Amino acid sequence: MDSISKSFEQKEEEEQSLQKTNQSFEEFLSTLPRDYGWTPLFDCYLYQGCWYYPFFLRGVIAAQQHFEAQPTDIFICSVPKSGTTWLKAVAFAIVTREKYSDLSSHPLLSTMPHECIPFLEVDVVGKEHTNQTAEVPLLATHIPYHSLPKSIISGGCKIVYIYRDPKDAFVSLWHFTSKLTPKDATHISLEEALELFCKGVSYYGPYWDHVLSFWKARKEAPQRMLFLAYEEMRKDPLPCVKNLADFMGQPFSVEEENEGVPQKIVDLCSFENLSDLDVNKKGKHRPENAAGIENRAFFRKGMIGDWQSHLTPDMAERLDQITREKFGGTDLPSYVSD
Ligand code: A3P
């Protein structure tokens, strides 16, 4: 067989196998509990106790089946809207600081942080199923701990987890979903979104269970997990950046400290700096697919306590009540007014 007909046959086989996968994925989806995904664009589906949009769920399952973690991989984990974009920028700036010591041409000035670090369930699976050849040993995922691909756990990979006051995460997610929703479609009200969020139905929710899945795992393997609270990092970023560098095995040297490198990274990755860059004001993230969104949607206010401008005392109390029940007995910040 000549090489042209061989590659034609191969292509046909690949297409058939893809169609079969699509069909079996659709069939699989139809067996899962389903609920409203906060936007008319997608419903969400409950898989292993977590709510996913189909686009991401397909990647989660592929990652569970095929992803091969390297022991040197470091994972940035979070529930959406907890500060992932910021943590990605900081982690990337730390591990690449030698290569990009000239901050005036740093990639973060022209590249949206999500594009600097691959997203496991979207960018890695379906391709090499490993991060082995990547420039940096960093990967990001929103998968809860109990559903992570086994090789991440058995490989002893380090995990950095960022979390946030559920009230601010909720308000942030509501704004974000609104930006995903076409202007002429029905936008979910804050009240409807709150109902769903409290039921646990939100993008990679239930929010509280996601945080707890990592918190419980950290108790078993504290040396390979770093927990960062968005609020602590916002109030005093410098010690968090240094702590993160230590944890990732790349502590700042005395010379770097004297040259102010940690502070330069804080400044480079600050909300004020990143949100004002052209790339983050005008660019689009994943323009090619259904979940494509403008970069500026990832930089809204970056405030602690913005929930106070949106939630009534009753709404806040509903969220606090769940936080009390779920986080009570842990050393997580209480986030509730007693
Ligand atoms: P708000 O919507 O409350 O402003 P994620 O990155 O997980 O999607 O989280 C998004 C939230 O982090 C948004 O919160 C966004 O404004 C905030 N954020 C993005 N970049 C940040 C930065 N460099 N510093 C602080 N907060 C940031």
Give the C-alpha separation, 205 to 313, whole Å: 23
110 alpha carbon – ligand 1 mean position (Å): 18
Q: Look up the CATH number of the domain holding residue 196.
A: 3.40.50.300
State the total domains in the chain: 1
Residue 335 resides in a domain = no
Extract the tokens encoding 251.
Answer: 């502590």
Decide: helix, strand or coil at residue 164.
Answer: coil
Strands 158-163 and 138-141 turn out to be unpaired
Ligand 1 pocket, residue 177 CB under 6 Å: no
- Residue 90, phi-psi category: left (phi > 0), alpha (psi -120 to 50), beta (remainder): alpha
Residue type, 170: F
Quick check: CB of 86 below 6 Å from ligand 1? yes
Helical packing angle, 166-180 and 313-327, nearest 10°: 120
Exposure string of 89-105, with b = 16+ CB inside 10 Å and e = fewer, is bbbbbbbbbeebeeeee
Q: Is any atom of ligand 1 closer than 6 Å to the C-beta of 294? A: no
DSSP letters spanning 36-63: EEEETTEEEEEETTEEE-HHHHHHHHHH
Ligand 1 pocket residue status of 230, Cβ below 6 Å = no
Residue 252 lies in a domain: yes
Residue nearest to atom 14 of ligand 1 (CA): 302
C-alpha count within 13 angstroms, C-beta hemisphere, residue 121: 21
**Residue 133 located in a structural domain:** yes
Distance 230 CA to ligand 1 centre (A): 9
Q: What's the gap in Å between 267 CA and the centre of ligand 1?
A: 15
Residues assigned a catalytic role:
142
State which ligand 1 atom lies nearest to the alpha carbon of 168: 3
- Domain residues for 212? 55-327
Mind listing the pLDDT tens digit of every residue in the chain (338 residues)? Answer: 444 454 556 556 656 665 666 779 999 999 999 999 999 999 999 999 999 999 999 999 999 999 999 999 999 999 999 999 999 999 999 999 999 999 899 999 999 999 999 999 998 876 666 666 667 999 999 999 999 999 999 999 999 999 999 999 999 999 999 998 988 999 999 999 999 999 999 999 999 999 999 999 998 889 999 999 999 999 999 999 999 999 999 999 999 999 999 999 999 999 999 999 999 999 888 877 766 789 999 999 999 999 999 999 999 999 999 999 999 999 898 788 65
Residue nearest to atom 20 of ligand 1 (CA): 86
Cα separation, 198 vs 259, whole angstroms: 47
> Ligand 1 centroid to 286 CA: how many Å?
18
* Residue 5 is assigned to a structural domain of this protein: no
- 237 close to ligand 1 (CB < 6 Angstrom): no
- Whether residue 94 lies inside any domain: the answer is yes
Is 128 contained in some domain?
yes
Which residue's CA is the closest to the ligand 1 atom numbered 26?
302
On whether residue 161 sits in a domain, the answer given is: yes
The answer to whether 141 and 214 are in contact (CB under 8 A) is: no
* Residue 280 CA, ligand 1 centroid: distance in Å: 12
Does some domain include residue 78?
A: yes
DSSP classification of residue 1? -
